[in-house]
Every structure is written in C-alpha cells, then in structure tokens.
Structure 1
C-alpha cells in the first residue's frame, strides 16, 4: 500500500484540528460580559467549546497513532483479522484500525 496519500491527508487534518483548537482556546480566554444573562449564555457556549476541543484532541491522538502505524508499516492492516483495510475506509476514517467487516461485526 502506498501510504503517502494517507499520510498527507492525516497531516492536513492534524493541522486543521490544531488551528481549530487554537481558536477554541482563544475564545475560552475571553472575559465574561458584565450582564448576568450574557454570562449564562457565554458559559453554555464555553461548555460546548470545551467538549469540541476535547473531541479534537482525541482525534489528533488517533491521527498521531495512525502516523506511527504508517512509520512502522502496520497502517492499513486490520488489527483484528489481519486483512487489508480498504482505501475507501481509510479515506473516510484515516485512523481506522480495523477493516469494515470487523467494524460491522463489533
């Protein structure tokens, strides 16, 4: 399997997520408004941003693990059955560790 295309896709996604996480961090660092009603809305928004930031961090961890699998030659091989993971699946889920059949069985 030629992993160059997947590696580039993963690196681009990590860069995109890193940019998003920086914007989230900048938004969370903003002071609260003076009015209590506006503060309540901002606090709710901050909770959503924090959850989004956590999801982004998790995806970055998964993508970095995929880069390690590329480096060690195990990328694209199902961790359960040992079959190849399809290019279509890897394009959709670049950090996939199991093939479609094993994912469907789980």
Structure 2
C-alpha cells in the first residue's frame, strides 16, 4: 500500500473541505440585506440558505472522516478494516480514502 499517495489524497480532500466550509460559513454569516427584496426573492434566498446549511453539515462530516483517517494513519491503523481486521483493498481506498471497513463490511 502506498501510504504517501493516500496521505496526499487525504490532505487534498481536507483542503477542499476546509475551503468549502469557510466559503459556506462566510456566506451564512454575512447574508445580503434580504428585507428589501420582493417576497419571491426572499423565498429563494431562504431556500438557498437552507441548502447552504445542509452543504455545510455535509462538508463538516466529510472533514471529520478525513481527519479520522489521518489520525489512523499516524497510529498505524490506516487501511485496516474496523470489523474484521483485514487490509482494506487498494481499489476501495483509492475510491474512498477515508474508508474504515473493507468492501465486505461497508455499510
């Protein structure tokens, strides 16, 4: 297993999630003045903000998975299935670099 390749992959994902979180948080914390907009425009803005909140939660969850994989890497447990203790296949780690279970035990 090429640990450095997977570490680089995880660090790239981490940077992408952090950038997404910062952008979404900034958008939610600094909304435009929506009170002067037409009712229909306010409804659209409300829907957009609701979607941003859901995307923010998804990005935070993704970042937590990546950080957990990086910790497992530091501890020497990366690439080992939590369920059976066998190695997770290279193909699975390539597709899901933060995977905790082999394909057999993936939920």
TM-score normalised by length of structure 2: 0.90
Number of equivalences: 104
Unaligned runs of 5+ in 2: none
RMSD over aligned CA atoms reads 1.2
Which structure 1 residue ranges, 5 or more long, are not aligned? none
Aligned to 2:91: 88
Q: Which residue of 1 aligns with 2:44?
A: 41
Please identify which structure carries the higher helix content.
1
TM-score of the superposed pair, with normalisation by structure 1: 0.91
Question: What SS is found at the alignment partner of 2:78?
Answer: coil
Partner Cα separation in structure 1 for residue 23 and residue 2 of structure 2:
34
Are positions 1:97 and 2:94 aligned together? no
Query: Match of 1:31?
Result: 32
CA contact under 8 A between 1:32 and 1:42: conserved in structure 2?
no
Distance 1:79 1:25 in 2: 33
Instruction: Write the distance in 1 (CA, Å) between the matches of 2:96 and 2:105.
Output: 14
Residues 14-29 of structure 1 aligned to structure 2 (within 5 Å): 14-28=14-28, 29=30
* C-alpha contact 1:77 1:84 (8 A) present in aligned 2: yes
- What does the per-residue CA deviation read over 1:28-85, in whole Å, with 9 as the maximum and x for residues that have no partner? 2222432221111101110001000000000100110000000000000111111110
